[in-house]
Amino acid sequence: MSGQPRLYRASFSAGLRWLPASAELMFRSPAGMIGIAALWLLLTMVAMMIPLLGQLVLVLFTPLLTAGVLIAFDRIRKGLTPGPATLFAAWPDPRRRIDLILLGSFSLAGSLLAAGVLVGWLSTQLDPAELEALAGSPEALAQTLAGANLGGGLLLAGLLFSLILAALFFAIPLTVFGKFPALPALLASLRAIIFNWLAFLGFGLAAMVMAIGLGIILALLMTVFTLALGQAGMVLVQFLILAMTMFVQMLMAGAQYVAFCNLFGWQPDKPSGPTDRDDDDSDDGQLIA
């Protein structure tokens, strides 16, 4: 597909609904989604066990794995049951695979750039030789950083990282479903989020409420299990943290899919690309372009 996709404006209330809609899709096929989440978690843990190289590979291939999860949500919407292998569904198409790895490269480069901005700002606050001397003492380093003025550096790095996340948010589904090349997909994603900032404000509010709620639940469970089971309870708590992390990751991927359908009009039974808005959302916004 070439050119710009059709883009619709969504309301604040539409953004609030993306996470609940994602959960509803997940619970249509709980077994399939648990299998995909478990496989994703296993791959993540294996990659993290390999110093540096494993983490770099994980960042490069995360868009490819995320694409598999989005395809799983798409299949659920069609009434199908995705299996664990759906996580790799984006791999067989060479063009799509290359574009998704390019998105991973963009993510890696952008993250390094944001970190570089923060380090550069920090170097203006502290002498590099002093930083190097403190590197072996986390406590002393923390005390030194507490007295430094990090506000500007954190703000710049945060803004840059937010732009990277915004560019990637819809770039992955645009590449998977709309078959856009990497660069046009990144630009279209930024454009969609800028035009729909109000919907993303609602989405951010819903995500914050979800995070607070899950945090409270996790804190209560940690207290109960630790007091009741002792050391075994701590092991169970670690398992719960992993399970909750993957649940949130799958839920956010589902919200990404729902938002894509909402703003770009994607429908599973229309494989030609994001063109027409779903009838159920037709009263929620207007066509931008």
| pLDDT (average), residues 108-113 | 90
- Give the domain extent around 111: 12-281
| pLDDT for res 280 | 47
Among 175, 64, 60, 170, residue whose Cα is nearest residue 111: 60
Instruction: Give a yes or no: residue 200 inside a domain.
Output: yes
Residue 195 has a pLDDT of 94
- Which three-class secondary structure state does DSSP give residue 287? strand
In the chain, the number of structural domains is 1
Enumerate the H helices of 177-196 as residue ranges.
182-195
- Between 84 and 4, residue with greater pLDDT: 84
Flag whether 217 is in a domain.
yes
Does 63 have pLDDT greater than 50? yes
Residue 8: strand pairing partners = 287
pLDDT band of 146, cuts 50, 70, 90 = low
The answer to whether 67 and 95 have CB atoms below 8 angstroms apart is: no
In a domain, 287, yes or no: no
Q: Answer yes or no: is 128 within a domain.
A: yes
The pLDDT tens digits of the residues spanning 249-278 come to 999 999 999 999 999 999 886 544 554 454
Of residues 22 and 134, more confidence is placed in 22
Q: Is the pLDDT of residue 215 over 70?
A: yes
Does 286 map to a domain? no
The per-residue pLDDT for 238 is 84
Q: Which two tokens stand for residue 49?
A: 């066990």
pLDDT category at 115 given cuts 50, 70, 90 is confident
Q: Nearest Cα to 132, choosing from 52, 124, 123? A: 123
Q: Given this model, what pLDDT does residue 272 score?
A: 46
Q: Which pLDDT belongs to residue 188?
A: 95
pLDDT confidence bin for 130, thresholds 50/70/90: low
How much is the average pLDDT of 34-60? 91
User: What is the residue-averaged pLDDT of the chain?
Assistant: 85
Q: Which of 31-40, 49-58, 85-94, 176-185 has the lowest mean pLDDT?
A: 49-58
Residue 4 included in any domain: no
Residue 23 lies in a domain: yes
| 98 HSE (CA, 13 A, CB side) | 5
Domain contains 5: no
Instruction: Enter the tokens of residue 182.
Output: 């990497």
Report the C-alpha gap between 67 and 90 in whole angstroms.
6
- DSSP per-residue string spanning 93-129: -HHHHHHHHHHHHHHHHHHHHHHHHHHHHHHHHS-HH
More confident residue, 279 or 25: 25
CA distance 243 to 237: 10
Percent helix / strand / coil, the chain, rounded to 5: 75, 0, 20
Q: What is residue 140's predicted lDDT score, i.e. its pLDDT? A: 59
